[in-house]
Structures are given as C-alpha cells and as structure tokens.
Amino acid sequence: MRRYAGTPAWKVSVTMDTVTVKIRPCAEEFTAEEDAALRRAGSIIQSGGLVAFPTETVYGLGGDALNRESSRKIYAAKGRPADNPLIVHICRLEDMERIAAHVPEEAFGIAEAFWPGPLTMILPKAELVPPETTGGLDTVAVRFPLDKTARKLIEYGGGYIAAPSANRSGRPSPTLAKYVAQDMDGRIDMIIDGGPVGIGLESTILDLTVTPPRILRPGYVTREMLQGILQKVDMDVTTLTADSGQAPRAPGMKYRHYAPKGELTIVEGSFEAVIGYINRQTAAERERGERTGIICTSESGPRYSADVVKCVGSRRDEAGIARKLFSVLREFDDECVTKIYAESLEAAGLGQAIMNRLLKAAGHRVVQV
C-alpha cells in the first residue's frame, strides 16, 4: 500500500504499475505503434481499468462510464467524494441520445455549434448510466471532446468514458502528463502522454435541465458565445462569489479546488496600487521567514520582487493565461512557496473562467487596495 500524506486510510488504493505511452500531439494520423497503444488503452478501459488521457482542456482520468466498478475506482484513485458526479465522454453525436433520457431541442443546436469541443451539457440521465457515475443524480454530464487521441480512446474503450480531471482531489487539474504522474502514479493502469493540452482550463458546463439553461462552470466556451445560439443563458451565482449563500449546482464546485499548498491571496485595485501592495506584503513576509511568490502578468512582471515571481503572460492574451495558470499553481508547490499573491484579472469572456479557478484556488481570499 502506498500512503499519501494527509490521506484517510479508506482513500488509499493498492499500488500498481502505471504504464506510460506517448502519442504525438499534433500528427494527422496515428502510427501503427500509436494505434496499438490506443487499442491496448481501450481494452484496459473495457476490462474495468483506468487510463489517464489528454483532452483539449485538461488531462482526464478515464474508466468505463457504464461500469459501476470503474466509477468507484475513479473516486478511489482521485480521493474524490462519491457525491461528485463524473462527466461521460462520447465520440459520436448519436451517443448523446443513448445516455440521455431526453434531449431538448437546444442541445442539438449547442452540439452543432460547439461539439466536438470544450463544452459539457447536463441532461436527464438514461437508465443505461449507473448512479455511481452520476454521483446518485438523475442527470448526466455529457462531453464530446475535440482532441483526436481522446476520441480514439473513447472509440476503442467502448464509446462511453467517465472522466474527471486526472488530479488528486483538491489539486490543480493537470495540463501535462508529468502532473498526472505526480498525482496518479501507482494508482491507475496507464497514462497516455499526448503533450501539453491546448486550453488549460476545464470545459464549460451548461445545464440544459433548467429554463433558461445555466452555466454551472465557466470555461473556454463563454456565456457570450452561448448567447449566440440560445436566447437566454444564466450564470450560476456561485461561480464568482463565495458569499451568495447558495450551494453550487455542479456538486464539484463546492469543494476546495486547484489550491496550491501555500496561502494564495488575490489583490484587486488599480495597477499601481496592486503592485505597491504586493511588494510591501512580500517584503514583510520574507522578513518573517516566509517563502514568497507572486503570480503576475508580463505588463507588471519586472516591477515585482519576491522569492518566486511567475508570469502567466500578457493581459491581452487570456488564452495564454488560461494555458499557464494550473502549471504555475503546481510550480509554487515544487518550489515550496508558503505565501502567494496574485493580481486580479478582468472577469469577462475567458477571464471569467480564469477568475473562477483563481478564486477557488485562493479559497476566495481577496484583498481590495
């Protein structure tokens, strides 16, 4: 048995050999070797095993969505509470109608506009899907990813792969296979290393079981983009505030998430005030023996001094910031940083998803200056 610090005994699984296979990220066709590796991965899934794989958003931890034992294994490998449902990944549009009891008209319009791609739809669940996969809910989350390796694995794995992000519960979602290995080595059968992911934040979750449809988790597909297809789209109030007094509608959004080991604080205010405040704070904390870190943008980077200063890119390039955010959060752990300050970003468009993840990573600790 392998013990992880701070892990209750019931969440510890037996150590197994985790095999890693590499698939070139952007190649047009799979080589015979790659295809054989993906077939092997598919047969692991079909026989009840777990395989981590790349998607365009983050790496997923896959098991057969129709096999209740596979879903139980996913929860155990992640150390995830069993009331937090999994997303079912498909590779053919028609499969949406097999796992959903009823597909509303809007879902077809959304699928046409955004699938395959970084969008998950919540629909009423069909009998076929066991309650273990949906955390006991009578709805099911469905996603048709764009990533070609993911789609081939889903096909070889039998068509329905339940996959949460491939991190241990509470950690940032993995954007590289090495981060999957850090969290999952010895706990799953295989890791498919498909290189760095393209987007870096998890899919947008859209609940189509309510009227009007509601975004439960912001992502690359923004509210503005959805409004181009649907007449009205609501946003779950809990996505950007901690004190709405309501429980999030996506069960997973209520858990502490993405958190680095150091204490993270977000600083909001004018450009100059934020820089001044963060520099004063980190100087004072270094005096007290803390190891300090700053998450900044290229516009302000040269103005900071701390033990570790990490730039997530330009404020004008939100997609670049999204791609880097989770790896930066993990790097602070590797560098043993104890106090971290992050500049706040504009919460519009993709910035909404970035701020949603940053706020959760900070446990909603925000300072106004």
Contact stretch for ligand TXA (CB under 6 A) within 198-206, 283-291, 315-323, 330-338: 198-206
Q: Write the single-letter amino acid at 12.
A: V
Q: Which of 165, 204, 239, 297 binds Mg ion (CB under 5 A)?
A: 165
Residue appearing with tokens 């037996």:
14
Residue 116 binds which of ligand TXA, Mg ion, none (CB < 5-8 A, kind-dependent): none
Residue 149 binds which of ligand TXA, Mg ion, none (CB < 5-8 A, kind-dependent): none
Listed residue (81, 59, 11, 6) closest to 261, CA to CA:
6
Q: Site size for ligand TXA, by CB under 6 A?
A: 28
Complex with ligand TXA: residue 192 or 253, whichever CB lies closer: 253
CB of 176 to Mg ion, least distance (A): 16
Interacting residues of 137 by C-beta distance below 8 A, sequence separation 6+: 85, 125, 131, 251
Residue 141 binds which of ligand TXA, Mg ion, none (CB < 5-8 A, kind-dependent): ligand TXA
Contact stretch for ligand TXA (CB under 6 A) within 80-88, 184-192, 287-295, 349-357: 80-88
The DSSP 8-state label assigned to residue 229 in this structure reads T
Asked whether position 58 contacts ligand TXA by CB under 6 A, the answer is: yes
| DSSP reduced 3-state for 227 | helix
Q: In angstroms, rounded to a whole number, what is the distance separating the alpha carbons of residues 8 and 217?
A: 28
The DSSP bridge pattern shows strands 119-124 and 19-22 to be: unpaired
The DSSP 8-state label assigned to residue 120 in this structure reads E
Q: How many residues does the chain have?
A: 369
Residue 260 binds which of Mg ion, ligand TXA, none (CB < 5-8 A, kind-dependent): none
Rounded CA Rg of the chain = 20
CB of 202 to ligand TXA, least distance (A): 3
- Contact letters for ligand TXA, residues 207-236 (x by CB under 6 A): ---------x--------------------
Complex with ligand TXA: residue 99 or 294, whichever CB lies closer: 99
Q: Which of 79, 174, 252, 260 binds ligand TXA (CB under 6 A)?
A: 252
Q: In angstroms, rounded to a whole number, what is the distance separating the alpha carbons of residues 131 and 85?
A: 9
Asked whether position 329 contacts ligand TXA by CB under 6 A, the answer is: no
Residue 293 binds which of ligand TXA, Mg ion, none (CB < 5-8 A, kind-dependent): none
Report yes or no: 143 and 44 within 8 Å, Cβ to Cβ.
Answer: no
Q: In angstroms, rounded to a whole number, what is the distance separating the alpha carbons of residues 41 and 149?
A: 11
Q: Which two tokens stand for residue 247?
A: 């429980």
Q: Which of 23, 38, 42, 60 binds ligand TXA (CB under 6 A)?
A: 60
Complex with ligand TXA: residue 325 or 337, whichever CB lies closer: 325
Asked whether position 74 contacts ligand TXA by CB under 6 A, the answer is: no
Asked whether position 137 contacts ligand TXA by CB under 6 A, the answer is: yes
Phi and psi (nearest 5°) for 124?
-65, 140
Complex with ligand TXA: residue 57 or 281, whichever CB lies closer: 57
CB of 304 to ligand TXA, least distance (A): 31
- Contact letters for ligand TXA, residues 83-102 (x by CB under 6 A): -xxxx---------------
Q: In angstroms, rounded to a whole number, what is the distance separating the alpha carbons of residues 343 and 268?
A: 7
- Contact letters for ligand TXA, residues 105-134 (x by CB under 6 A): ---------------x-x-----------x
Please provide the DSSP assignment of 271-325 as one string.
HHHHHHHHHHHHHHHHHTTPPEEEEE-TTTGGG--SSEEEE---TT-HHHHHHHH
The DSSP bridge pattern shows strands 190-193 and 19-22 to be: parallel
Q: In angstroms, rounded to a whole number, what is the distance separating the alpha carbons of residues 277 and 289?
A: 19
Residue 232 has a CB neighbour count (10 Å cut-off) of 10
**Interacting residues with ligand TXA (CB under 6 A):** 55, 57-58, 60, 84-87, 120, 122, 134, 137, 139-141, 143, 163-165, 202-203, 205, 216, 249-253
**Interacting residues with Mg ion (CB under 5 A):** 165
